[in-house]
Amino acid sequence: MITIKDKTDCSGCSACYAVCPKHCITMCPDKEGFLYPTVDTNLCIDCGACDKVCPLMKPLVINNGNTSAFAVQNKDESIRMQSASGGAFSAFATVVLNKGGIVFGGCFDKDFNVCHDSVSTINDLKKLRCSKYVQSDMGNTFSKIKSLLKEGRLILFSGTPCQVEGLNSYLKRKYDNLITLDLVCRGTPSPGLWKKYLAWHSAKEKSPITYVSFRNKHFGYAGSTMAIGFKNGKIKYQSRAIQFFKYTFFQDLNSRPSCFRCHFKTIQRNADITLYDCWHVNAFSKDMDDDRGTTMVLLHTEKGENLFNETKPFIRFNKADVEKAIKLDGIMATQCTVPNPQREQFFKDAQDIPFEQLIKKYFPLSIKKQCIQWLKPVIYKLGILNHLKRFISK
């Protein structure tokens, strides 16, 4: 029977939930808003399936194939502008969908909670596009994928490294008709905190939320901005400097405990393909440096290479040196962040005090931050935001 004694030992991948033959495991939120398995001991038969399937309870068997890297941009500019980076995921997904396959990935539900879902048409693909900085609720995704694989359907699954490892462990064997795609991941923020944040925004605006984008390109790729739209027609564009939820994520206040001791930090992955932002595309191709977004694509397996070759009609690409690509933009592929010393108190306060007070305590808006927000549109119009960001990051 799976028992979580140390929360750094559970990534919330839901493999244990999916594998239980008696369906006695539920994924329940803890005080921080993260999902953990809870076992109904009245139904449990102590078969041990949940312990055996957990990817954090067994050694990681690394894929030792030759990894190759490419800077990638989708040729469809509308898709690229709707995407967090270069639209590579949409290009891969398009190939799979054109073959009659099914694509799984993270999306918003009607209340803007983040969950995994599937699409089978190009038109529906838009809901899987763009990054969501919230841990996804997997629901019955793994069992659905297994059933579809057995039917012979081609599947593309995208998720965090722990979700890919959880799926692979649950399936127990390799399927020729499964392609896995993971991300270079900093961490997974709290779904519970996200719900509170949305409720606060809606109450403050006195209007329901109708649109959310964590990586809107209103001010270009370098100036990626969070956008929240309301039923009253207003859209708020906020940079990380003045946007509470993303700020607490990048300050390592609201990520899941297991993310700070991630078991899957390695360049060589068991996923077929890895994606992450290519901010420094100028280091690989001057022609691609247009501030509209570029994805760095790592190919780990023959299956990944084959899909990439089939995707070439939909993309612009430039081969990159793997070591250089990781050093410039992919350091989170191999390194964990360190939890903020205030993290424990932050989540305690998130339970105990009003959300407005929480924001004022951990996110006081200085004149400097407000000036940055005011100047951003001006700097963008001058065409120097991209260069300024790179200069500051040196």
Question: Residue 17's domain is classified under what CATH number?
Answer: 3.30.70.20
Q: Is 88 helix (H, G, I), strand (E, B) or coil?
A: helix
Same domain, 36 and 130: no
Q: What is the pLDDT of residue 241?
A: 63
Same domain, 302 and 345: yes
30 lies in which domain range?
Answer: 7-53
Domain contains 343:
yes
Q: What is the pLDDT of residue 383?
A: 58
Same domain, 265 and 356: yes
Q: What is the pLDDT of residue 193?
A: 98
Q: What is the pLDDT of residue 143?
A: 98
Domain contains 2:
no
Same domain, 221 and 261: yes
Domain contains 86:
yes
Give the separation between CA 393 and CA 370, rounded to whole angstroms: 20
Per residue in 31-53, pLDDT (tens digit) is 999 999 999 999 999 999 999 99
Give the separation between CA 95 and CA 313, rounded to whole angstroms: 10
Same domain, 92 and 145: yes
Same domain, 11 and 73: no
Asked if residue 186 lies in contact with residue 249, where contact means CB atoms within 8 angstroms, the answer is yes
Domain contains 279:
yes
Same domain, 20 and 135: no
Q: What is the pLDDT of residue 372?
A: 60
Same domain, 161 and 179: yes
- Name the domain boundary from 53, 75, 91: 53
All residue ranges of the chain with pLDDT < 50 are 388, 391-392
Domain contains 191:
yes
Length of the chain: 394
* CA-to-CA separations, 65 to 243, 292, 298, 303, 326, in angstroms, rounded: 40, 32, 12, 12, 17
Residue 278: partners with Cβ closer than 8 Å, 6 or more residues away? 71, 72, 85, 86, 284, 294, 295, 296, 325, 329
Q: What is the pLDDT of residue 240?
A: 67
Q: What is the pLDDT of residue 96?
A: 99
Q: Structure pTM?
A: 0.92
Asked if residue 161 lies in contact with residue 266, where contact means CB atoms within 8 angstroms, the answer is no
Same domain, 313 and 216: yes
- Name the domain boundary from 53, 73, 91: 53
Domain count, the chain: 2
Pairing of strands 209-216, 178-183: unpaired
Quick one: 364 exposed, middle or buried, by C-beta within 10 A (0-12, 13-18, 19+)? exposed
Same domain, 302 and 277: yes
- Name the domain boundary from 32, 53, 74: 53
Same domain, 323 and 354: yes
Domain contains 58:
no
Q: Closest Cα to residue 142, out of 273, 12, 337? A: 12
Give the separation between CA 279 and CA 321, rounded to whole angstroms: 15
